[in-house]
Amino acid sequence: MARTFFVGGNFKANGSLKSIETIVSNLNAAKLDPNTEVVIAPPSIFLLSTAASASNGVKVSAQNVFDKPDGAWTGELTTKMLIDHNIEWVILGHSERRTIFKESSEFIAEKTKAALDAGLKVILCIGETLQEREAGQTLNVCCEQLKAVADKINDWSNVVIAYEPVWAIGTGKVATTEQAQEAHKGIRDWLASTVSSQAAEATRILYGGSVTEKNCKELATQPDIDGFLVGGASLKPAFVDIINSKL
C-alpha cells in the first residue's frame, strides 16, 4: 500500500494576522506537490481566518483540544467547536505539552480518543529526550507513549504518528537519516505486533525535529519516513521546499 506523503506545519505560539496571511498567501500561490498532503496548525486565535483563506489543497489543524464536551473548562477548545468550524485535524502529544504542561500519556490518549470519536483526525506526537536516547531507551519510550493510545482506540486510520526526538526540536540538531529511519521502522514494527499488520502498513509516520529545506530530501528517501511535522521552518518561505521534498 502506498502511503500518501504528509507535511504538517506547526506554527506553535508564533504569528500575527499579517505574518500568517503572508504564509498562507505564499502557500496558495506556490506550486505544491499534488501527491503530498499539507496541513498547517496556526495558534487557535487564527484558526478561522486561516481556514477561510487557505486553498491549494492546504488543510488546517488545531494545536490542541480538550477531552471533555463543552462545559466549564476555562481556556480550552472542545472537539465540537473544531468540528463546527470544519477544522479537520488536531495535534496531540507534542513534547511541549508533555513537558511544559505536564500532560501524561494517559491524558493524551483520552484526548486522542475524544478527537477521533468526534470525527477529527489526529497528528499524534511521540519522542524521547536526549537522556533517554543515550540510555538506549528510544523505542521503549516511544512505544510506551503509543501503548497508552492503543489501550483506548482500535481504529488507527485517522491517526498520523509524528516521531519527534525531544533533543532535536528547535535545537538545530537533527537525527541522522539512519537514526530517524531506525526509529520509524521500530515504531512500524511495534504497530504490526501490537495493533495489526494493516495498521502498520497504512499508518503514516512523520519525522519532526529541526527539519529544514536542506535536510528534508535525504530524510524523505527513507522507506519508513512518510513526511514531516515542521516547526520553525513552517513559518518561512522554504516550507514550500519541504512540502516538495519528494519531487
Q: Please answer whether residues 64 and 100 qualify as being in contact, where contact means their C-beta atoms are separated by less than 8 angstroms.
A: no
Q: 62 near 109, Cβ under 8 Å? A: no
**pLDDT for position 10:** 98
State yes or no: is 164 an active-site residue.
Answer: yes
Cβ distance 6 to 243 under 8 Å?
no
Q: What is the structure's pLDDT at 160?
A: 98
1 band by pLDDT with thresholds 50, 70 and 90: low
128 has catalytic annotation: no
In this predicted model, what pLDDT tens digit does every residue of 56-87 receive, in sequence order? 999 999 999 999 999 999 999 999 999 999 99
Compute the distance between CA of residue 197 and CA of residue 22 in angstroms, rounded to an integer.
42
**5-243 is classed in which CATH architecture?**
Alpha-Beta Barrel (3.20)
pLDDT at residue 173, rounded to an integer: 77
- Is pLDDT at 32 greater than 90 in this prediction? yes
d(CA 200, CA 235): 31
Rounded Cα distance between 219 and 217, Å, is 5
Selected catalytic residue, list 96, 103, 164, 213: 164
Q: Kindly state the DSSP code that residue 89 receives in the 8-state scheme.
A: E
Confidence check: pLDDT of 219 > 70? yes
What is the average pLDDT across 215-243? Answer: 97
E-strand spans in 48-120? Answer: 59-62, 89-92
- CB under 8 Å to 45, separation ≥6 — which residues? none
Taking residues 168-177, report their average pLDDT: 81
Q: In Å, how far from its chain's centre is CA 117?
A: 19
DSSP 212: -
Under 8 Å between Cβ of 127 and 142: yes
Place of cell 526509529: 183
Q: Please check the confidence at residue 168 and state whether its pLDDT lies above 90.
A: no
Q: What tens digit of pLDDT does each residue of 95-118 get? A: 999 999 999 999 999 999 999 999
Domain spans of the chain, in order of start? 5-243
pTM beyond 0.95: the answer is: yes
Distance from chain centroid for Cα 136: 24
Name the catalytic one among 37, 94, 103, 128.
94
